[in-house]
Structure 1
Amino acid sequence: MKTRNYTPEIKERAVRMLIESANDYPSTWSAIQAIAPKIGCTPETLRSWHKKHIDQTIPANVQAQSQEQRIKDLERENRELKQANEIIRKAAAFFGPGGARPPTEIMVDFIDVNKQEYGIELICRVLPIAPSTYHRAKDLEECPDKRSLRSQHDDYYISEIKRIWQDSKCRYGARKVWQQMKADGLQVARCTVERLMKQYELQGVWRGKGKITTNSRDDQKRADDLVNRNFNAQRPNQLWVADFTYIKTMSGWVYTAFIIDVFARAIVGWKVSNRMNTDMVMAALNQAITDRNNPKAVIHHSDRGVQYLSIRYTDKMADSGVIASVGTTGDSYDNALAETVNGLYKTEVIDYLKQQWQGVNDVELATLEWVDWFNKTRLHSTIGYVSPFEFEKRYYDNLTLSGMAA
């Protein structure tokens, strides 16, 4: 039997999920036995990954420290953690609800209020702001003439944008705000209006649309559409479709990327991330290639999102013998099968299990459970009401019987 290789990311994800879910089981070993089959490895393999993680996390020189020194270090760390927690609590109350990064101006105000008690350096270590950024902001506050010409123009433009947006009862988006500014005789680029509205979180009403995940560029080089909306395959690893969807959580937007084998509708790669970038879709692709034993000449179909058209992603496909295919017209029908899986995921996991999700961690654990059930247990009408893995097993069993008959 061929030895299976696991990527470092799969190992890290498995260990992290084990640590996060350990409290839900009576022992570490029982948690290992529950998590390992879902990852696709043996319990002993997962146990060895966990042990290696512990050994790397706690170096030998730390383990050999004297008890007295360790107590001193722990007391110092405890004091620092208490101060950091105090800063976090005060910052949460100061910034208000929401998981997005606060504007620099708000963080500067918070530092001004609390710098006498904690000092600028300590607050900056806790907040996502560098001390140099704070000092520069204070310098520009005292000497406004030092600001760039663009910043000075932005001050005027944003006041007009807010006026128009509020006059519309907050209904106007960037396009209509820009048109109104032109009608008022203000010569400003549309991209400037879009940038400032995004920066100040001003958004118009959307008609039946969710958060946009397919961010495409018409001038970006892309592969031909080899599928033409014909989502049928005669064998496993003939055609994969890829897409990702979004989840609103209490700590901000979270994104889940999937790669589906069209033949049996099996999910062969997935990744949950709080960033809608190339790293996310690359992780799903790497998992699919590894789990499917580096298949050759498989067609990978996606929409025109910039993540799937990135150089790193297309180079990875080329190096792995995967053939790229990209939808042409740019609507949901071009990747209908992947959109269907996204819809099932939203219905059966995101909307069904919880009303509020905390963030990446609980979404990832729920996705792990769902993908395992989806592939191994869930009945699919399009493949004769069997699970994807069962459908693939029957295919390979038939091949074996055909070979024996021949």
Structure 2
Amino acid sequence: MKYALILDHVSQYSVNLMCDVLGVHRSGFYRWRDAPKSQRETRKEKVASLVKDTYEAFEAAYGAPRITQELNALGHKCSVNYIARIMQERGILARNGKAFNYGGHALTMHNVADNLLWRDFSTDRPNQKWVTDITYVWVRKEWLYLATVMDLYSRRIIGWSLDTSMTERLITQAMQMAIDARGTAPGLIVHSDRGTQYRSNSYVSFLEKHEITRSMSRKGNCWDNAAMESFFARLKVELIYAKCYQSIEEAKSGIFGYIEIFYNRKRRHSANDGLSPVEFEETAAFAA
């Protein structure tokens, strides 16, 4: 649709120019833009956001069939053809697809750390093993990025940061929050994927300054950081997909409430014998 094409490029070209080139009236475009969305359009936007989240979560490895399987498993019923059309319209292509180009994988893999965790998410005390990652939250017309740090001892989110850009500053702020809240202990390991932010010189130097040892997942293996992926999946299903935030401020407020009030203090966790992360830590401290 011509109006949708104009909306997708308003940050690059003027509306007047695009309307003239495409032979449509500006008034028609604005009426279309401001009109209430149909149920069909609303669903398509929601599914498109889910597709983008899943595509990024599996590091661009999944095409339409596997993304469809993931979404159906989460309770979002859709067909392979429907997902394929959405991916085609938005230029989303799996890593094994023709003409694939995904900048994050094309960079030289410098500052890669060994995988010290090896999917052993067990720990008997705080500040022994932390995991960290970034997830994407689609808010109306732009991405919001959330970086989190989890202590595997209780699965508590001890540090987090939100921003509209995915930079070293985003992950460093989340890590600084964790350090301010918990301090560090000798032998502390922080595990992440191989994202460029986690391999940046500034982030590596930051961890070295605090005597924190880095660990990294194997290339393209999201299950090496399964505890954090599980948290992100809960966040998306229990909050993001249900709310469909229309503003950055709404999303920030909702995410704050989910992490600090609901997840850390109320949500029961199977790894904690059915206790919330805060309850688990308080119970363990009392028993000691």
Deviation of residue 360 (structure 1)? 2.3
> Given that residues 112 and 199 in structure 2 are in contact (C-alpha distance below 8 angstroms), is that contact kept between their aligned partners in structure 1?
yes
1:377 paired residue among 262, 266, 271: 266
> Given that residues 190 and 215 in structure 2 are in contact (C-alpha distance below 8 angstroms), is that contact kept between their aligned partners in structure 1?
yes
RMSD over aligned CA atoms reads 2.9
> Given that residues 111 and 200 in structure 2 are in contact (C-alpha distance below 8 angstroms), is that contact kept between their aligned partners in structure 1?
no
Matched residue, 2:176: 286
Matched residue, 1:359: 247
Q: 1:297-376 maps to which residues of 2 (within 5 A)?
A: 297-352=187-242, 354=243, 356-372=244-260, 373-376=262-265
> Given that residues 257 and 280 in structure 1 are in contact (C-alpha distance below 8 angstroms), is that contact kept between their aligned partners in structure 2?
yes
| Structure 1 counterpart of 2:248, one-letter code | V
Q: 1:292 to 1:101 in 2, by over 3 A?
A: farther
Residue aligned with 1:325, SS: strand
> Given that residues 213 and 244 in structure 1 are in contact (C-alpha distance below 8 angstroms), is that contact kept between their aligned partners in structure 2?
no
1:275 paired residue among 157, 165, 174: 165
Deviation of residue 310 (structure 1)? 0.7
Matched residue, 1:386: 275
Matched residue, 1:395: 284
> Given that residues 132 and 148 in structure 2 are in contact (C-alpha distance below 8 angstroms), is that contact kept between their aligned partners in structure 1?
yes
Residue aligned with 1:395, SS: helix
> Given that residues 272 and 360 in structure 1 are in contact (C-alpha distance below 8 angstroms), is that contact kept between their aligned partners in structure 2?
no
Deviation of residue 204 (structure 1)? 4.9
Matched residue, 1:102: 11
Task: Calculate percent identity across the aligned residue pairs.
Answer: 28
Deviation of residue 338 (structure 1)? 0.7
Matched residue, 1:224: 114
TM-score where L is the length of structure 1: 0.47
Q: 1:254 to 1:214 in 2, by over 3 A?
A: farther
Structure whose CA Rg is larger: 1
TM-score where L is the length of structure 2: 0.65
Residue aligned with 1:324, SS: strand
Point out the structure with the larger helix share: 1
Aligned residues: 210
> Which stretches in structure 1 are left out of the alignment for 5+ residues?
1-92, 111-200, 400-406
Matched residue, 2:104: 215
Deviation of residue 293 (structure 1)? 2.7
